[in-house]
């Protein structure tokens, strides 16, 4: 595992589209980042509001942001074109004079990390079924073995809607689920190292890179199905940087 020099007393500004993301990050960031890293959250009134105001916000940062600060922008993919959304975020940073992780300087430095939750933040909850079960014991621990939930990022029709249907089916809620409450309940039990969502692990890698850890090695038990045979493999995630910021999953058997 390759590491670059750690930055001490780093600070990260998070730009988020909704309150549930803030609630989730407040609970999981201490499990990911070193203790000497500080952070702050700026929550917008939904993704359209964030995208509309992003350029102006980043231009403001570019005029005074200290060298040991980083900005992380996190939005839901929401069944939109993933590449188009990422390009929109990247362009907003570049036009503001800030350097993104996708286009690091020759010395490896950058100021902005853009990340997407695919399809939505709730995919990260499905990525940790153990946490979902601990928060709501009526949810089966074996849910991750069902075809629909094997790949959290591939759940179609909206991961929020899928989570709502599940928690109503288990009678944890009678009708529309309270999004912030549910996020807090599940995130409290989440363990980043076992999360099966690829977009979550790419997000984690971006955070670690912000504080100087270029490669993040995470070992988890991941169910891999081949016909009727269920085997377990160790998965190692890393972000392979290129001019187009190709994100690749490396599987070591």
Determine the Cα–Cα distance for residues 157 and 228; give it in Å rounded to an integer: 26
Determine the Cα–Cα distance for residues 247 and 102; give it in Å rounded to an integer: 10
Residue-wise pLDDT for 163-174, tens only, equals: 999 999 999 999
Task: Among 1.25.40, 3.40.50, 3.90.320, 3.30.70, name the CATH number for the domain at 11-120+196-214.
Answer: 3.40.50
Per-residue pLDDT at 240 = 31
Of the chain, the percentage scoring pLDDT greater than 90 comes to: 66
Per-residue pLDDT at 213 = 65
Q: What is the reported pTM?
A: 0.81
Per-residue pLDDT at 81 = 81
Give the tokens for residue 1.
Answer: 């595992």
List, in sequence order, every residue forming a beta bridge with 251; answer none if it has no partner.
235
Give the tokens for residue 194.
Answer: 């076992």
Q: Which residue has the higher pLDDT, 6 or 91?
A: 91
What is the pLDDT averaged over residues 32-58?
Answer: 95
How many other CB atoms are found less than 10 A from the CB of residue 92? 23
Residue-wise pLDDT for 94-137, tens only, equals: 999 999 998 877 767 899 999 999 989 999 999 999 999 999 99
Per-residue pLDDT at 188 = 97
pLDDT above 70 for 57: yes
Residue-wise pLDDT for 183-229, tens only, equals: 999 999 999 999 999 999 999 999 988 987 654 344 333 343 333 32
Cα–Cα nearest to 139, from 199, 204, 189, 76:
189
Per-residue pLDDT at 146 = 92
Of the chain, the percentage scoring pLDDT greater than 70 comes to: 80
pLDDT above 80 for 234: no
Q: Calculate the average pLDDT of the chain.
A: 82
pLDDT above 50 for 231: no
Residue-wise pLDDT for 29-40, tens only, equals: 999 998 999 999
* Angle separating helix axes 82-95 and 47-62, nearest 10 degrees: 30
**E strands present in the chain:** 11-16, 38-43, 69-76, 112-117, 221-226, 229-237, 249-251
What is the pLDDT averaged over residues 27-52?
Answer: 95
pLDDT above 50 for 4: no
- Ordered by start, the domain boundaries in the chain are 11-120+196-214, 122-187
Burial (Cβ within 10 Å: 0-12, 13-18, ≥19) of residue 126 = buried
Determine the Cα–Cα distance for residues 114 and 73; give it in Å rounded to an integer: 5
Using pLDDT thresholds of 50, 70 and 90, give the confidence band for residue 90: very high
């Amino acid at each position: 595992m390759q590491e670059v020099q750690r930055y001490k007393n780093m600070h990260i500004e998070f730009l988020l589209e909704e309150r549930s993301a803030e609630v989730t990050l407040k609970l999981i960031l201490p499990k990911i980042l070193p203790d000497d890293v500080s952070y702050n959250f700026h929550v917008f009134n939904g993704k359209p509001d964030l995208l509309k105001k992003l350029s102006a916000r980043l231009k403001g940062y570019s005029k005074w942001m200290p060298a040991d600060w980083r900005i992380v922008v996190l939005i839901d993919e929401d069944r939109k074109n993933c590449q188009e959304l990422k390009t929109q975020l990247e362009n907003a940073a570049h036009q503001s004079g800030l350097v993104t992780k996708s286009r690091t300087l020759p010395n490896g430095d950058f100021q902005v990390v853009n990340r997407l939750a695919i399809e939505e933040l709730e995919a990260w909850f499905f990525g940790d079924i153990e946490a979902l079960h601990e928060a709501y014991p009526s949810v089966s621990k074996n849910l991750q073995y069902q075809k629909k939930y094997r790949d959290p990022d591939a759940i179609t029709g909206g991961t929020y809607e899928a989570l709502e249907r599940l928690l109503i089916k288990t009678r944890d809620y009678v009708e529309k689920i309270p999004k912030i409450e549910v996020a807090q309940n599940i995130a409290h039990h989440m363990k980043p190292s076992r999360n099966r969502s690829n977009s979550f692990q790419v997000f984690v890698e971006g955070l670690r890179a912000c504080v100087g850890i270029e490669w993040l090695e995470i070992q988890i038990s991941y169910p891999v199905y081949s016909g009727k045979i269920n085997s377990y493999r160790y998965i190692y995630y890393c972000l392979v940087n290129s001019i187009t910021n190709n994100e690749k999953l490396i599987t070591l058997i």
